[in-house]
Amino acid sequence: MKAGKWIAAAAAVCVVAVAAVLVVRSEKQKKAEEAFVTEMQQVMDKYKCPGMSCVVVKDNKIIYNHNFGLKDIEAGIPVDDETMFRIASISKSFTATSMMQMIEQGKVTLDTDVSTLAGFPIRNPKWPDTVITLEMLMSHTSSINDSQGYFSIDYINPDVNPDWAKCYSDYEPGTGYRYCNLNFNLTGTFLEKLSGERFDQYVVHHVLEPLGLYGGYCVDSLDASRFAKLYNVSKDGTPHEQPEAYDPRSEEIAAYRFGYDAPLFSPTGGMKITAIDLAKYMIMHMNYGYSPLAKVRIISEESSRAMQTPRSEPEHYGLALVRNGEYIPGVEIVGHTGGAYGLRSAMFFIPERKCGIVVITNGSYNPWGEDGNILTGSLMVAFKHFLAEED
């Protein structure tokens, strides 16, 4: 056989072989997707979940996403790729990411005394000489608690609230852990003072827009027709809509006090975004501050690794990101969950493998029951079918 014909024949064999591999891979992928949808629907039925969006990332790419159920039960409108959810406490990572930008600009450090930023003393009265720092706020080790509330910093201001001392727990700042939403509403307030931009606008301009994402905290600035309605679901499966989740607070914002009223936007839990865009944001964090999709660095690798480094045991909580080895047994994942107004959300990734999962629901029953919850169940299903390493 002449060389030219031999090469042509070999090439033809290769094409057939590659085609065969693709067919096998495609068939395998198809079966995985079908099994995933079936099992995920079973999880949703178990926890009486009205609607869900799930996105899977592998090798820095979105390899699969699927939407389930309804974003509006009464109108019968299904969840789709354009559906935006309030993601609750995953929002904290946006606030922390923004504050890391302030640190990189030299405006503050993780050790900055937050009293100097507040304009009033932030000190645990039982340990008045112990400085409460930005690092403590963003790692929930500040000893501040939510017993007085967290939708305003008035609660912790001695000039406004006579019961301000109740905002502090019974341990020295920096020596214990207590999850606290007020920590991040304070952090968002300080971000506003340091940046000179209103909190919600800063995050949009310096985190979302550079990544090419659509979302934000201010309801009046977003397309509300895309919002998934949120539901508290009772034991019998009856959904109860929670319209206050998207309260625009227009009147309060009209009387906004710059450098004080950032909690109106809820830096601790108010981000609205699609599951797909949240996954793109997650890809930035799994690459330590750099987005290979947008080809832009949001924070330095040092800052990103600092966010992913635990500050407490056994919680393994860093700076608005936590390391967890229980949701997917035997696998350590990094990220955050969210829960408010009935919704449950999860954003978790494995930075070493450049893979991760985003799950957002608009309601469920028994979210943290003894037999698991909507998030642990859905994370395990998605991981098993798309990310588990084969032996």
Cβ contact 124:143 at 8 Å: yes
Among 12-21, 236-245, 290-299, the minimum mean pLDDT is found in 12-21
Instruction: List CB contacts of 299: < 8 A, sequence separation 6 or more.
Output: 97, 100, 101, 104, 289, 307
- Report, as an integer, the average pLDDT of 342-352: 97
152/132 Cα distance (integer angstroms): 19
pLDDT at 29: 82
Tens-digit pLDDT profile for residues 217-228? 999 999 999 999
Cβ contact 215:84 at 8 Å: yes
How would residue 15 be classed by pLDDT, with cut points 50, 70 and 90?
A: very low
Whether 326 has a pLDDT exceeding 80, the answer reads: yes
DSSP 243: G
Tens-digit pLDDT profile for residues 138-175? 999 999 999 999 999 999 999 999 999 999 999 999 99
In the block, tokens 């936590």 appear at 322
Burial class (CB in 10 A: 0-12, 13-18, 19+), 230: buried
List, in order of start, the domains of the chain with CATH numbers.
35-87+198-387 (3.40.710.10)
Nearest Cα residue to 321 out of 338, 333, 334: 334
Nearest Cα residue to 66 out of 34, 108, 95: 34
pTM of the model: 0.92
Selected residue with higher pLDDT from 20 and 162? 162
